[in-house]
Homo-oligomer: A and B are copies of this chain.
Amino acid sequence: MLDYPLLAALAAVIRTGSFERAARQLHVTPSAVSQRVKLLEERLGTVLVVRGQPCTGTAAGQRLCQHVEQVVLLESELRGTLPGLSPADGPVTLRIAVNADSLATWFVAAMAEVPSCLFDLVLDDQDHSAEWLRKGEVLAAVTASAAPVPGCNSHPLGALRYRATASPGYMRRHFADGVTAESLAGAPCLTFNRKDRLQIQWLRLVLSDPDPARIPTPPTHWLPSTHAFVDGALAGLGWGMNPDPLVADHLAAGRLVELLPGRPLDVPLYWQQSRISGAALAELSRAVLRAGRQALHAADGDEREDGSAESPSAR
Q: In A84-136, which residues have CB < 8 Å from any B CB? A: 84-86, 89
Q: In A57-85, which residues have CB < 8 Å from any B CB? A: 60, 63-64, 67-68, 70-72, 74-75, 78, 81-82, 84-85
Q: Given A64-B82, A275-B275, A278-B151, decide whether A74 and B72 contact each other with a Cβ distance below 8 A.
A: no
A2 within 8 A of B: yes
Task: Indicate how many identical chains form the complex.
Answer: 2
A128 CB to nearest B CB, Å: 19
Residues of chain B with a CB closer than 8 A to A153's CB? 151
Do B72 and A67 have beta carbons less than 8 Å apart? Answer: no
Do A67 and B75 have beta carbons less than 8 Å apart? Answer: yes
A253 within 8 A of B: no
The distance in angstroms between the C-alpha atoms of A151 and B183, with both chains bound, is 53
Q: How many residues of A contact B (CB 8 A)?
A: 31
* Contact digits for A141-155, partner B, Cβ 8 Å, 1 yes 0 no: 000000000010100
A27 within 8 A of B: no
Question: In the complex, which residue of chain B has the Cβ closest to the Cβ of A82?
Answer: B63
Residues of chain B with a CB closer than 8 A to A4's CB? 1-2, 4
The distance in angstroms between the C-alpha atoms of A261 and B85, with both chains bound, is 61
A8 within 8 A of B: yes
Do A1 and B72 have beta carbons less than 8 Å apart? Answer: yes
The distance in angstroms between the C-alpha atoms of A71 and B278, with both chains bound, is 15
Residues of chain B with a CB closer than 8 A to A278's CB? 151, 275
The distance in angstroms between the C-alpha atoms of A50 and B103, with both chains bound, is 51
A8 contacts which of B1, B44, B45 (Cβ < 8 Å)? B1
A276 within 8 A of B: yes
Residues of chain B with a CB closer than 8 A to A3's CB? 86
A45 contacts which of B5, B75, B84, B151 (Cβ < 8 Å)? B84
A63 contacts which of B1, B8, B78, B89 (Cβ < 8 Å)? B78
Question: In the complex, which residue of chain B has the Cβ closest to the Cβ of A75?
Answer: B2
A304 within 8 A of B: no
A43 within 8 A of B: yes
* Contact digits for A278-313, partner B, Cβ 8 Å, 1 yes 0 no: 100000000000000000000000000000000000
Residues of chain B with a CB closer than 8 A to A60's CB? 82
Interface, chain A (partner B; CB < 8 A):
1-5, 8, 43-45, 60, 63-64, 67-68, 70-72, 74-75, 78, 81-82, 84-86, 89, 151, 153, 275-276, 278
Given pairs A44-B84, A44-B86, A70-B74, 8 additional interface contacts (CB within 8 A): A1-B5, A2-B75, A2-B78, A2-B85, A60-B82, A63-B81, A64-B78, A64-B82
Q: List 19 A-B contacts (CB under 8 A).
A: A1-B4, A1-B8, A1-B72, A1-B75, A3-B86, A4-B4, A43-B86, A44-B85, A63-B81, A64-B78, A64-B82, A67-B74, A67-B75, A67-B78, A70-B74, A74-B74, A151-B275, A151-B278, A275-B276
